[in-house]
Amino acid sequence: MQIKENILLAPYTTFKLGGPAKYFCVSENQEDALQAFEFAKEKGIKTFVLGGGSNILVSDKGFDGLVIKVSNKGIGVLSEIPPLAPPKIGGEEEGVLLKVASGEVWDDVVKFAVTNGWWGIENLSHIPGSTGAIAVQNVGAYGQEASGVIESVTVFDKETHDVKNFKSSDCGFGYRQSVFNSSEKGKYIIFEIVFKLSKSAKPNLGYRDLKARFVDKNPSLVEIRQAIIEIRNKKFPFPIEAKNGNAGSFFKNPILFGAEYEKLKQAVKNNFGDDKLSELEKKKFTDTTILTAVKIVVNQNPQESVKVPAAFLIELCGLKNLQSGGAAINQNQPLVIINQTGKATAKDVLNLAGQVKQKVLLKTGVELKFEPELIGF
């Protein structure tokens, strides 16, 4: 493994911006990871583990440490459920345990599962990035969430150099959250994830666009995946293919509890009128991600919580045409900030995001949270 100096990070991110890493290496296995961390320890420098580069914003100054690009590969069936036996022995549902290296492109994993007739991640189609990030962010979309199918996560401990295995229950999954981006942030490299998928048809069509697409129909896995891809392409500029770089959703959908939501309703009524309040009531929604998020909120009742589309709040405040330098709000999906000119800086992006956050807070009382990780700031 080679450790290089002053490598520009922009080409390794879907935003297509960001300064250089002081040191940079590619890790394909445990030995590479060990060598990388020993190097960082000797130099007394920070490390950052880079996956697909799709959910990060890198500073214009870059990263003053060692960036470790994880590129391990491999997708394989760990075991059948139940093994070598007729379906549903002992009442257990027939399925498969799929072991995936963290460096695999996530959408390739979804395609592999769908092609083999395995249910559980089809609604997570066309999401950019590597597989490791799926566990870090507990990625969710269209009514599915990664934590619902993650069986275990194998990691490399940066400090002890031990390989550890986290059960799903040990991962602290919440809305866009896990121990890997909160309490244990920066401590591990994710090597592998085991997913528990089903061989039984389980269409998850609760999301509005999907429900409308398949009225009175029983879609196949392939049809659901294709529908998700088409829906996402209309709303999101897919970072890997997009002319304008972006990091996917820049803002999280706020989850509001009881009085918080009532305050939002009053603010919308006062500032925008009854028609917009009615629109808010139609657009709010509840799903399984809320129930997961509530687990980490003390004394909150899941039945009193709602998730409000951040895109609706941004559009409501008249911010769809907002720009800052080379950065702009995406017209079709205002959750996304794009590198519109191809020459935007990280400063442009943060300035724009800050304006959105400030104006939404002023008009609605809701504080939007950023989804991408900020690197080198």
Which residues are catalytically annotated?
Answer: 176, 249, 371
Q: What are phi and psi of 347, to 5 degrees?
A: -65, -40
Per-residue b or e along 240-271, where b marks 16 or more CB atoms closer than 10 Å to that residue's CB: eebebbbbbbbbbbbbbbeebbeebbebbeee
Q: Do residues 235 and 332 lie in contact, with contact meaning Cβ atoms separated by under 8 Å?
A: yes
CA distances from 262 to 265, 267, 278, 304, 313 (A): 5, 9, 13, 11, 15
Q: Which residue has the tokens 């914003």?
A: 57
Bridge-based pairing of strands 56-58 and 63-70 is: unpaired
What CA–CA distance (Å, rounded) separates 158 from 161?
A: 5
Q: Which of 163, 366, 140, 156 is nearest to 265 (CA)?
A: 366
Tokens for 272, please give them: 């925008």
The token duo for 20 is 């250089």
The β-bridge partners of 246 are 338
Alpha carbon of residue 221 to chain centroid: 22
Q: Where are the beta strands (DSSP E) in 60-186?
A: 63-70, 75-81, 95-101, 140-141, 144-145, 150-157, 163-167
Task: Please give the single-letter amino acid code of residue 98.
Answer: L
Strand, coil or helix: 189 = strand
Tokens representing residue 167 in the block: 């059960």
Question: What three-state secondary structure class fits 8?
Answer: strand
